[in-house]
Amino acid sequence: MDNRLKSELDIIIETKKEKKMISTSTINRLLKDMKMENEYDSVLEYLEDNGISVDADDSEGIIFLDSSKISIIPKTLSVEAIVKRLKYNEINLDTEFQRKRSLWKDEIKSQLIESFMVQLPVPPMYFDGQDSDWLVIDGLQRLCTLKEFMLDKSLVLSGLEYLPDYNGCTYDELPRIYQRRIEESQIAFYLILPGTPPEVKYSLFKRINTPGLKLEPQEIRHALYQGKATVCLQEFAESDEFQKATDYDVPSDRMQDREMVLRYFAIKYMGEEVYRTHTLDAYLCETMQYLNKQEDRFFEENRIIFFDTLECCVRIFGKLAFRRISKARPNDKKPFNSALFETWMNTVSELNQEQKEKLIANRDQLIARFVDELEKRSTFNADISSGKFRSYVRRNSAVKDMVMEVLKNTFPELVAEKQLKYSERDVAHHSA
């Protein structure tokens, strides 16, 4: 065994001497980074000889990031060059994520300008340079400030700490020495180059934005995966059908409603095997990428299926759709449950129209079966409150079993292919 590898393993053995266990993902990552993948068997043997066992299950849901594919370079540009990019719309400020343009107060904006005037450094910014127009990952408020002050000429300085005599001034009213200092100030930034995996962009965005106003995961996905996916999720989530089916209980201000729609698509098209090797975050990110690659017909067909499935669930459960139901107090409306939403929606969406109608006709039997599952099986209750892979599999299996039982074995066999199960006749029927 290579001495460098042995030294690294000895460190791991020392740190793991209490737990006496390490995950396969950690071993694979280390060997990948050291370019010694062929040493896997000898590493296992060496660890076991030193009392450290390797647990394959411990790696469930851990993301493997290939560092060799990450290409992020540090660069600097003058404020004048940055502003010129803004002037010609070569930096995309309209990424539609939660933090909108120009949220800073004028005093904060003015102090940024003052930093340039007195030659204080400012924090670096981050851009995604995989397209000709850069996408802002971090630095939106600073860029908006520069645009307002130097292009729009709408920002009037206020609350200056070092140069208070210039409060009330616009850019054109500053002495040339300060205009020049602002223009020539250098801004450091990091540029993500083409070829870098999308999950790197997502992770970087999340890590940068965590310390301040924390963005919800779907807000980050919405910012970084613009395209057909974001348009579809917005349309479906803001529809009257979705709002009524969820009884207006899924908030929209932080895009929780769009995440519910995304979870439906994830389970329907990505399936269990993809989830097995991903965290929920990564699973939904991959679904966004998948949706962005689809043709218009895909969304047309799914619009029909999605809204028809919502209607069916409401006809079965009414205002109790996607919620726990109590046997003792069956009319009490419990909180909306995201796991039940994705599970019921996916299961019902696999049915043809005849089967849906039969399920609706036997709604009392299905509800009774569902309540019985909630009352008698603590495992099911736990599974609809967990994001773990095993819970995901068990709750989907349980709901499918309920439906199959009520349909008296007329439920079609679910296939593994990620394709629409509707026939052309069904699509034509719902279109009419």
Instruction: Sort strands 125-128 and 186-192 into parallel, antiparallel or unpaired.
Output: parallel
The mean of the pLDDT values for the chain is: 83
User: Per residue in 259-278, is it b (16+ CB within 10 Å) or e — as a string?
Assistant: bbbbbbbbbbbbeeebbebb
Indicate whether 335 pLDDT > 50: yes
Instruction: Mean pLDDT check: name the lowest of 92-96, 315-319, 370-374.
Output: 92-96
Kindly report, residue by residue over 220-236, the tens digit of the pLDDT: 788 778 889 999 999 99
pLDDT reported for residue 138: 82
Rounded Cα distance between 83 and 89, Å, is: 10
pLDDT number for residue 419: 37
pLDDT digit string, tens, across residues 64-121: 566 677 788 999 999 999 999 999 999 987 654 434 566 789 999 999 999 999 999 8
Question: What is the CA 44 to chain-centroid distance, rounded?
Answer: 35
Cα–Cα distance for residue pair 394/375, rounded to 1 Å: 16
**Can you spell out the DSSP letters for 138-197?**
E-HHHHHHHIIIIIS------S-SS-GGGTT--GGGS-HHHHHHHHH-EEEEEEEPTTS-
pLDDT classification of 427: cutoffs 50, 70, 90:
very low
Rounded Cα distance, 16 and 10, in Å: 10
Lowest mean pLDDT among 5-14, 46-55, 230-239, 353-362: 46-55
Q: What share of the chain is helix, strand, coil (3-state, %, to 5)?
A: 60, 10, 35
Question: Which distant-in-sequence residues (6+ apart) come within 8 Å of 245 by Cβ?
Answer: 310, 311, 313, 314, 321, 322
Residue, of 160 and 9, whose pLDDT is higher: 160
Q: pLDDT class for 414, splitting at 50, 70, 90?
A: very low
Whole-prediction pTM = 0.57
343 — pLDDT class (breaks 50, 70, 90): very high
- Whether residue 139 is predicted with pLDDT greater than 60 in this model: the reply is yes
pLDDT in tens, 41-57: 888 888 878 877 766 54
- Cα–Cα distance between 95 and 111 in angstroms, integer? 25
Sign of CA dihedral 424, 273, 409, 313: negative
pLDDT in tens, 195-253: 887 777 767 776 766 544 566 788 878 877 888 999 999 999 999 999 999 998 888 87
- Comparing 159 with 271, which gets the higher pLDDT? 159
Evaluate whether 245 touches 321 at the Cβ level (below 8 Å): yes
Q: Provide the token pair at 79.
A: 């404020």
